[in-house]
Amino acid sequence: MSLKVFNNLTKRKEVFTPLNPPFVGMYVCGPTVSGESHLGHARPFITFDVIYRYLLFLGYKVRYVRNITDAGHFEEEGRAAEDKISSKAQLEKLEPMELVQKYTNLFHDAMAAFNNLPPSIEPTATGHIVEQIELTKKIIEAGYAYEINGSVYFNVKKYHEDFSKRNQPYGILSGRKIEDQIAESRSLQNQDEKREALDFALWKKAPENHIMRWASPWGEGFPGWHIECSAMSTKYLGKKFDIHGGGMDLQFPHHECEIAQSTVCNDVTPASYWLHNNMITINGKKMGKSYNNVIKLSELFHGNHPLLNKSYSPQTVRFFILQSQYRSTLDFSNDSLLAAEKALKRLTETYIWLQNFESFNYTTLIIPEGLPNYNEQILKAVNNFKSCLDEDFNTAKLLAEVFEILPILNAVKDKNLKIEYLQPEVLILLKKSFKDYLKDILGLDFKYPTDNHYLKNALDLLINLRMSAKKNKDFVTTDTIRQELSKIGIIIKDEKDGGISYSFNTI
Amino acid sequence: MSLKVFNNLTKRKEVFTPLNPPFVGMYVCGPTVSGESHLGHARPFITFDVIYRYLLFLGYKVRYVRNITDAGHFEEEGRAAEDKISSKAQLEKLEPMELVQKYTNLFHDAMAAFNNLPPSIEPTATGHIVEQIELTKKIIEAGYAYEINGSVYFNVKKYHEDFSKRNQPYGILSGRKIEDQIAESRSLQNQDEKREALDFALWKKAPENHIMRWASPWGEGFPGWHIECSAMSTKYLGKKFDIHGGGMDLQFPHHECEIAQSTVCNDVTPASYWLHNNMITINGKKMGKSYNNVIKLSELFHGNHPLLNKSYSPQTVRFFILQSQYRSTLDFSNDSLLAAEKALKRLTETYIWLQNFESFNYTTLIIPEGLPNYNEQILKAVNNFKSCLDEDFNTAKLLAEVFEILPILNAVKDKNLKIEYLQPEVLILLKKSFKDYLKDILGLDFKYPTDNHYLKNALDLLINLRMSAKKNKDFVTTDTIRQELSKIGIIIKDEKDGGISYSFNTI
């Protein structure tokens, strides 16, 4: 079995073949830090975190580069050009980099809360001005960009004409036809200085009141948005690397422009595999300012947004996102998040029970006729874990396999099924597979309140006191302990074997 | 009372007068991220964190800039030039920026563990290549730098000759005499391409195997160390700003060179006040590789270093550092850290008791003759808190004032002294002052295990069970609870009033 990925460049599922195994280079477009991270930031970075983790699990030596867009960029596609970062900065009367720092810190906090691993390198656009200027110079020299009034634009039409002959048309990734777009953009009554509305900025002259500016061969200005990713991916991963990732919305124009820039400079399409996660919706609607439904991550974690009934933990959100394959659309709603929270709670309890289970030295009993073959069921599921992820990182299918066998494990855990019906080897394999796939690859952080050493011991003591009280028929004490713990969400359960167990009502 | 700071530029304690109140600009030299942070990184960043916090407390709007040196720099002072970062990178066979990312992440983790606030802007040297090139060009144009073989050097002698006439000699900060230094450096048989051994690099041509390199007007190379701080402080704080900070070891040559560069470019000494924290020693010896006594912060926190008997928490280290005024030398040893740990534990217990104390509606009793006037003692101490910090941030004196009155508070807390001897207004003032000065300004993070909601309630339940057992003369249960909790470091104490309290043996 080998890993297959859906390559958006070829629109096919392909066997993943790195250029220089065991090394893998992966570039993922990071956040624009002109505001607080919102729900739209959760999916791509969790998706590519799992991809990163799975590639590491497979033994690849991965260099994972995820940039920070802090230089401000233009909204393309006909909307008025607007430097997002510096306009917001003026509003808050802050130095742009102070704003950048604040939102970068918040972004990092959110990524840590999601349990995303830090990328190998997290380069910033402002940190690579020299590289972007050099690339722009190269594109001008090659004849695919022109300077006008201190700005530099990429000549899309010329690129398309020349590179179509080599089967590398502009539109190679998105499938858009350039002819349609020229017609479309003409109707917008373009008043730009650009020769064609489709041309995009590599370097932009800074207006007088523009705070973010750097010296360049074309005067003071700042880089366009697309050029930063070409500059940074080339610098850290080389002219051609393995995986380029990002959200579906970045396919056009951002990734299309990146391909054009890099192809001119390096004579090769920059990445072998182009992976895009699909978009999220909220209660069935596209998320956006115009829909008034942008949920910031802090609002999600604290539950203070009109669309939310309650708060949802970062791990619930992570689990919820992984319940869908990354190329499916995904709808956020209170009901679906609540269901995910409940399912994660069940999984957490089983996971912790299994990881703490240690006495595998029992003799297996034969499963009575009429009962299903639990061992076979478990083995079948476990053997499917890898193939789920090998099929374009299908985390949804992997979790379905896990939940398929959860009832068996819970029956054993809750002593409704004899553990002797399971073969120790099967349980040992399952324990390791759960750790590998759920904790290490899916990155689910099964933290339990009893990770607190004091609490664990205090609860053990309370359980022991209750057992003694029960033995002495001191029902006042047994009731007090049960009731008081119940008040704070710790549920005491009297087991059939006379023991007492506890569980947490909310995690 | 107004804030006075010791200005190393004038070697005098001066009243702090910002250039544009209420704004304050402060630049502090940050870490070189070519390795893991060590004990030497703890003191400057905790010192300037407290200074930042105090300025904020005084109502200033502070922009605090602390850089990250990630471009590699040269060891000056006659030692062989060595780009620290890229040499280590080759050793570990990593892309330098991958190493930079790893150590930057570790540095941030350590800063968070110390409870240091993040600076307003944390710019990187590699992120400001354009600015450094522009400054270098400006210095060449002004006639104070020369290019040779693709490198650019600052002409120290010429600067000294010209600027001495304006009372801005090279050596203005460190007090070093340039004539002595020229004589000293000549004897080293300088084989450099520089005209004078004292000259320092603004830009360095990259040798063929040098990975970190950028395009420049002088060919591919990389910036010198000193120029980055001039470039970044000017960019974010302006030509002249209020405070420049760093460790005493940076005074020469780093800050001296910074002053020379900035003075040439901006015609003004860059900062009004130059603040330097003194050095630390370990068991009386200077810390250094040659002494084999460099303690990494992770080793300190986990206790795995031959010089450490045990681990010390980041808060213990913070508290220990603040027990000295920042301009005193400070010796780390097991004994002194143990003493700090013990003192912090006492302070924490009192602090938490006081912050949780709420019933101020009692009638004050007259203190019997023969007993000291506790109210007066407390008021005297509290009134001194501000003047301690106003005297060049004397955290040592502030903590001494706190510990002066701690016995009174502990006597009340432990019910050895009637609370009615204290005036409620005095206690209310003290509660607020402790929060302001200890938590907000000194940044001591008084976290207690009982911040865990479950644990707090579980312990309360155990205490109640023990009270009932005591009443019922069930000494088996009372002993069990005391002994079992003692095993995990929770100490039960029977109070005189019949109540039971608990405390944690280790925090």
Q: Are residues A319 and A431 in the same domain?
A: yes
Residue A19 inside a domain? The answer is no
Provide the CATH number for the domain around residue B272: 3.40.50.620
Percent of chain B with pLDDT over 90: 74
Q: Which residues of A touch B108 (CB under 8 A)?
A: 108
Residue B485's closest chain A neighbor by CA? Answer: A458
State how far residue A96 is from chain B, nearest Cα, in angstroms.
Answer: 10
* CA closest to B134 among chain A residues: A215
Q: How far apart are CA A430 and CA A452, in angstroms?
A: 26
B244 forms beta bridges with B27, B274
Q: Which residue has the higher pLDDT, B359 or B220?
A: B220
Question: How many CB pairs lie under 8 A apart between chains A and B?
Answer: 122
Q: Which of B117, B121, B459 to mutate to test the interface with A (most CBs of A within 10 A)?
A: B121
Last residue of a domain, one of B228, B249, B277: B277
Higher pLDDT, A457 or B500: A457
% of chain A beyond a pLDDT of 90: 74
The answer on A323 and A196 residing in a single domain is no
Contact state of A465 with B481 under an 8 Å Cβ cutoff: yes
CA neighbor of B485 nearest in space, from A451, A482, A453, A461: A461
Classify residue A3: in a domain, yes or no: no
Which tokens hold the place of B71? 């471009």
Evaluate whether residue B345 is within a structural domain.
yes
Asked if residue B486 has pLDDT above 90, the reply is no
In B76-229, at which residue ranges do the beta strands (DSSP E only) sit?
Answer: 145-148, 151-154, 200-205, 221-223
Q: Which of B66, B457, B470, B478 to mutate to test the interface with A (most CBs of A within 10 A)?
A: B457
Please report whether residue B1 resides in a domain.
Answer: no
Contact B223, B132 (CB under 8 A): yes
Domain hosting B49: range is: 18-277
Mean of the pLDDT values across residues A227-244?
Answer: 95
Nearest-5° angle of CA A347, CA A294, CA A287? 85
B465 vs A contacts (CB less than 8 Å): 465, 477, 480-481
Q: Chain-centre distance of CA B409, in angstroms?
A: 29
Residues B405 and B454 in one domain: no
Judging contacts by C-beta atoms under 8 Å, the chain B residues touching residue A214 are 130-131
Query: Which of B127, B320, B87 minimizes the C-alpha distance to A228?
Result: B127
Report CB contact under 8 Å: B97, A236. Answer: yes
- Among A406-415, B182-191, B266-275, B403-412, the minimum mean pLDDT is found in B182-191
Higher pLDDT, residue B457 or A104: A104
Q: What total number of domains does chain B contain?
A: 3
Would residue B7 count as lying in a domain? no
Q: Within this chain, do residues B131 and B262 fall inside the same structural domain, yes or no?
A: yes
Phi-psi label, residue A79: left if phi above 0, alpha if psi -120 to 50, beta otherwise: beta
| Together in a domain, B358 and B494 | no
B417 plus B497 within the same structural domain: no
| Subunit contact B118:A105, Cβ cutoff 8 A | yes
Phi, psi of A235, rounded to the nearest 5 degrees: -60, -45
What tokens were used for A421?
């019906």
Find the residue in B nearest to A70 (Cα).
B127
Domain match, A313 and A413 both:
yes
Confidence at residue B187, expressed as pLDDT on a 0 to 100 scale: 55
In contact, A130 and B71? CB cutoff 8 Å: no
Average pLDDT, chain A: 90
Rank A4-13, A309-318, A497-506, B456-465 by mean pLDDT and report only the highest.
Answer: A4-13
Q: Tell me which residue of B397, B348, B399 sits closest to B504, measured CA to CA.
A: B348
State how far residue B128 is from chain A, nearest Cα, in angstroms. Answer: 6
Last residue of a domain, one of B395, B421, B441: B441
The verdict on A436 and A457 lying in the same domain is no
Picking from A123, A133, A465, the nearest residue to B465 by CB comes out as A465
Q: A-chain residues within 8 Å CB-CB of B118?
A: 101, 105
Long-range contacts, stretch A355-358, CB < 8 angstroms, 24+ apart:
A355/A431, A355/A434, A355/A435, A355/A446, A357/A427, A357/A431
**For residues A391-407, average pLDDT:** 98
Using CB atoms within 10 Å of the CB of residue A28, give its burial: 0 to 12 exposed, 13 to 18 middle, 19+ buried: buried
**What distance in Å separates residue B495's CA from the closest CA in chain A?**
21
Verify whether the Cβ–Cβ distance A462 to B457 is below 8 Å: no
Tell if the CB–CB gap between B458 and A457 is shorter than 8 Å.
no
List CB contacts (< 8 A) between A490 and chain B: 454, 458
Length of chain A: 507
Q: Determine, yes or no, domain membership for B284.
A: no
Residue B360 vs residue B4, higher pLDDT: B4
Quick one: pLDDT at residue B62? 94
Give the integer Cα–Cα distance in Å for B468 and A477: 9
Q: How confident is the model at residue A170 (pLDDT cuts 50, 70, 90)?
A: very high
* Alpha-carbon gap: B208 to the closest alpha carbon of chain A (Å): 17
Q: Do residues B66 and B30 touch, judged by C-beta distance below 8 A?
A: yes
Q: What is the pLDDT of residue B47?
A: 98
Q: What is the pLDDT of residues A5-35, one digit of tens each?
A: 999 999 999 999 999 999 999 999 999 998 8
What is the rounded average pLDDT of the residues A72-96? 50
According to the model, what pLDDT value does residue A505 have? 64
Residue A96 inside a domain? The answer is yes
User: What pLDDT does B82 receive?
Assistant: 45
**What pLDDT is attached to residue B9?**
97
Instruction: Output the pLDDT for position B289.
Output: 82
**Mean pLDDT estimate for chain B:** 90
Query: Residues B97, A33, A284, A274: is their CA dihedral positive or negative?
Result: negative
The reply to whether A143 and A176 lie within a common domain is: yes
Average pLDDT over residues B22-41: 92
For chain A, helix, strand, coil in percent to 5 are 50, 15, 35
Mean pLDDT of A106-119: 96
- Asked if A118 lies within 8 A of B124 by C-beta distance, the reply is no
Q: How confident is the model at residue B453 (pLDDT cuts 50, 70, 90)?
A: confident
| B249: nearest Cα among B183, B189, B174 | B174
Question: Quick one: average pLDDT of B257-271?
Answer: 96
For chain A, give the percent of residues with pLDDT over 70: 92
Q: What H or E segment, with its residue span, contains residue A271?
A: strand A271-277
Res B80: pLDDT: 38
For A33-63, give the DSSP string. Answer: -SS--BHHHHHHHHHHHHHHHHHHHTT-EEE
A212 and A319 in a common domain: no
Per-residue pLDDT averaged across A95-122, rounded? 94
**Which CATH number does the domain housing residue B426 bear?**
1.10.730
- Asked if A357 contacts A154 with a C-beta cutoff of 8 angstroms, the reply is no
**pLDDT tens-place string over residues A259-274:** 999 999 999 999 999 9
User: How do residues A176-233 score in pLDDT, each as one tens digit?
Assistant: 988 887 776 665 555 678 998 899 999 999 987 777 889 999 999 999 999 999 999 9
- ipTM confidence score: 0.86
- How far is A423 from chain B, CA to nearest CA, in Å? 37
Tell me, yes or no, whether B199 and B304 share the same domain. Answer: no
In 3D, which of A374, A469, A376, A378 has the Cα closest to residue A418? A374
Q: Which residues of chain B make contact with A458, given a CB cutoff of 8 A?
A: 455, 458-459, 462, 485, 488, 490
Point out which residues pair with B61 in neighbouring strands. B23
Query: Residue A43's Cα: distance from chain center in Å?
Result: 4
Q: How far is CA A294 from CA A160, A247, A329, A337, in A?
A: 37, 17, 17, 16
- When mean pLDDT is compared over A70-74, A364-368, B48-52, the highest value belongs to B48-52
pLDDT at site B85: 62
Cβ-Cβ contacts under 8 Å, B468 against chain A? 477
State the nearest Cα–Cα gap between B38 and chain A, in angstroms. Answer: 22
**By CA distance, what is A64's nearest residue in B?**
B98
Same domain? For A242 and A118 the reply is: yes
Q: For residue A129, which residues of chain B lie inside 8 Å, CB to CB?
A: 129-130
Specify if B290 maps to a domain: no
pLDDT band at B90 (very low <50, low <70, confident <90, very high): very low
Cβ pair A121, B95 in contact under 8 A:
yes
Where is average pLDDT lowest: A310-314, A382-386, B146-150, B314-318?
A310-314
Asked if A449 lies within 8 A of B449 by C-beta distance, the reply is no
Of B277, B310, B339, the one marking the end of a domain is B277
Higher pLDDT, residue B187 or B316: B316
Question: Quick one: average pLDDT of B264-291?
Answer: 94
For chain B, the 3-state helix, strand and coil shares in percent, each to the nearest 5, are 50, 15, 35
CA diameter of chain A: 92
Cβ contacts of B95 on chain A, cutoff 8 Å: 63, 121, 236
Token representation of residue A192: 């730009």
User: Residue A488 pLDDT > 90, yes or no?
Assistant: no
